[in-house]
Each structure stands twice: as structure tokens, then as C-alpha cells.
Structure 1
């Protein structure tokens, strides 16, 4: 399938966000997916996720969270992300701005939209659900952030979450709290725990500019407990694709 891509700029969180929109071939309306990036920001690998979904027939928007920046320094990244993650309304604002861009695309079927995110992007996807946005599915990898009391009851779609068993940033206690929140709210939820995987296991090692390292080693400083796991990265992607095939199939 031929994929067409373009850069989209839009305001959010006091910044000019620079997203990546990927369209499948044809002119008909298609189900659509928001794709949220990891804490460091949006890079070519995450743009590729949108392209891969467009090849499957989805309209896909890889949205931005830092106004076009990629944070190579973990401390700088945390200084930006921690206040954002602590403020559900800010996260919702970032997510809604991207959703507006996706809905404005004529190829998007507004009644068939899913949100998938990684790390900070996954937390944003969940906050859209807690805000009552009419999504068909939510997927979050390493973004198992609990919300404000009672708001998970607004989630009206299946939620799938993936996390590494050795992730110190999303430890077992956090997984249990997330599960209790989803179960208490009556959400259709599930968690996949990838044995032996650490935080950000789904993202290959990068250089400081966000480009992938050809030798498979990290060219930038990473936090303790962060590590790539190639087999589980592939499995997590298949789990995302399966979630979309179940909840927002490209046909029917």
C-alpha cells in the first residue's frame, strides 16, 4: 500500500507542535490512530510507527509533546515531563490538540479513532479516555499512570497496557494500582507483562539527536533500568496491531 506523509504544525501547551501524519492510499474514510511518543520526544522511529499503521490502512498521527524538541539529556527530559505528567488537564490539552488535527483530516472516520502511546504519550492517551473522549481503543506501553479518583469511569473503550517486568519506573505496585483503578471503574482492561524487559524496552538505542544507532548500543545517557529488548519490542508492536484489529478494524 502506498503511504503519503506530511508534517503538521499546531498549537498545544504553549508550544508549536510538529506532528507526523501518515495516510494510506485511496480517498475513502478510514479508522484513525493517535500515536504518542516516549518522554524524550518525537523522532524518526516513532514517525515510522505512524507509517507502519498507514500501510495497514489506518490514518495515523504521531503527535508531538515538546514543540519539536528531542531531549537527549534524561534530566532535561524529566524536568519537562514530570510537571506534565502531574497535571491531567495539561496532558488532556496536548492530546485534544492532536486529536483535533487528526479529526480535521478528511480521510479520518471520526467515529473510529484509537489512541496508542508510549511512556508520556501513553499517559496522555489514557487521560483522553478519562476525559470522556469517544475513543474505540486505548493502548499504553510503559505509561500506566493512575488518574484522579472516579474519572476512569468515563473510559468507554477497551484499554490494553504493556510493561516490562523489570521496569523500575513502572514497578509492580504501580501496575497493581493501575489495575485496581481500571477494575474499580468497570473498564474492559488487560495488562501484558513482558518478562525480563526494562523501561522503554520497545525503543531501539539512539544517538543524542534521536537517530537510531546502527550498532545497537546507546549513544546517549539513559536512566538506570532503561534498556531495549528486541523480541519483546516486536511482540508489543504485534499486541498494538492486534488491539487495533479488534477494536478499529480497517474493514467492516
Structure 2
């Protein structure tokens, strides 16, 4: 197995001290890098392992924080934090930019070869980075079919891949249609994969917390969605270039 080095990184954003997880691949040279945005409850070990897995593939990976080190187990508390954030593109962009600066500042990062992936709230944040014109090689999101300000998607400069469960009540068919219409009108190279029978947050294993209705793990589709994201990175951000 490839030797991966990890460390915690602290940085300010959204009036909080964010606590991210940086994973570095073996070797000493610069590598392409991936920003990873977590689900609404926050950054936990599952998301940190995503960064480690990408580092094993040869990427510098930063799983960024959105709640100042907190992981919400109470869905009402989580929604009270996330809903105002999701309604404020500037706050989302500020959180994303702060994490991106940390990733770019890492000496192992090739600053011209960065992609961003995200889940739920973290996915909405990386989409806003794209709408803000950030130079990314790819954007991948799961359960984050959020639409932006009118015309904003025209500033997206890379392919966008999005995955969603067919039975996700939080991202219903009309939301899928709105997202697709936004991407298509902006001329984005976009793809949308609908995973049959999957609920919201189907990609995340069950954890010891109260969950909202319409949320549930689908192990098979979770593996497929991860393979699809790794495939997106292999296409748009190959380790050897």
C-alpha cells in the first residue's frame, strides 16, 4: 500500500476556526490536488478516509471543515446551521475559498491542477466555487443539485459530474430538472447520474445519530458513486500528466 501522510490543518473561515484533514501521497514532488466537501452534519472520520483514499491514488487531498470542528448528531441543529448557509452563496464561497487557499499553499500541491468534490452541503460549496470562476479541472457532487444565481454557472470552467438518488426527497425530480437546465443553459460539460432506489445521503454509512426522513445508506450505490468520482478524476485530473 502507498504510504500516505496525514495532518490536521486549522484555518479561519465563516467566523470559525475550521479543522480540516490533509492527506499527502508518497514521494516529494508536486501532485494534482482534490478539495473534498463534507455532508451537512460536518467532517467526520468517513470523510477523512475519502481524503486518505485519494492520497493513496496519488492526489494531495484536503477534506475541509464547514462547522468549526463540529459534527452534528441532532438533525434540527444541523439544519439550523446549514439552511442559512445554503441560502447565502457568498458565505459558501468564502468557506470554499478559505479551504482552497490551504490546499494551494501546501508545497506538494500543483496549484494549476486542482479538482473539487463534495457531498450535500459540501457539494453546494464546491459548485459555488465553480460559479465564482475558480480554475478547477473538475467538479463532482453527490446529493448537491443546488442552483445558483442567474447566469452564475456560465463562469464554470470545467466538467461537472453530479450524482443523486432517485428516491431522494430533498433533491426531487424538479430540482434535478432545474440543475440540468442551469448547466445546459450555461454551456457546461455536465453529467447527472441518478442511482435507482437510493435515498438522500445514500453514499454515507449509517452512523450513531438521528436521521431525517428520506435519508438512508445504499451500500451498492455508494460504491458505484465513489467509482464514478474516481473515474471523473482519472479523466479530468490524471495523476501522471
TM-score (norm 2): 0.99
What displacement does 1:144 show?
A: 0.7
The secondary structure found in structure 1 opposite 2:22 is strand
SS at match of 1:117: strand
What aligned pairs does 1:237-252 form with structure 2 within 5 A after superposition?
237-252=226-241
Where does structure 1 lack aligned partners over 5 or more consecutive residues?
208-219
What stretches of structure 2 of length at least 5 have no aligned partner? none
Q: Please show how residues 133-212 of structure 1 align to structure 2 within 5 Å.
A: 133-207=134-208
Pairwise CA RMSD? 0.3
Map 1:89-168 to 2 at 5 A: 89-168=90-169
How far, CA to CA, are the matches of 1:221 and 1:115 in structure 2?
29
TM-superposition CA deviations, 1:113-158 (whole Å, max 9, x none): 0000000000001000000000000001001100000010000100
Q: How high is the TM-score relative to the length of structure 1?
A: 0.95
Q: Which residue of 2 aligns with 1:211?
A: none
**Structure 1 residue 221 displacement after superposition:** 1.1
Aligned pair 1:233/2:222, yes or no?
A: yes
SS across alignment from 2:184: helix
Aligned length: 240
Distance in 1, Cα, partners of 2:111 & 2:175: 33
Aligned counterparts of 1:221 and 1:38: Cα–Cα separation in 2: 15
1:197-219 Cα offsets, whole Å, 9 max, x none, are: 00000000112xxxxxxxxxxxx
Shift of residue 19 of structure 1? 0.1
The answer to whether the aligner puts 1:28 opposite 2:17 as a matched pair is: no
Q: Secondary structure of the residue that 2:18 maps to in structure 1?
A: strand
1:212 paired residue number? none
**Secondary structure at 1:244 match in 2:** helix
SS of the aligned residue for 1:205 comes to coil
Aligned to 1:222: 211
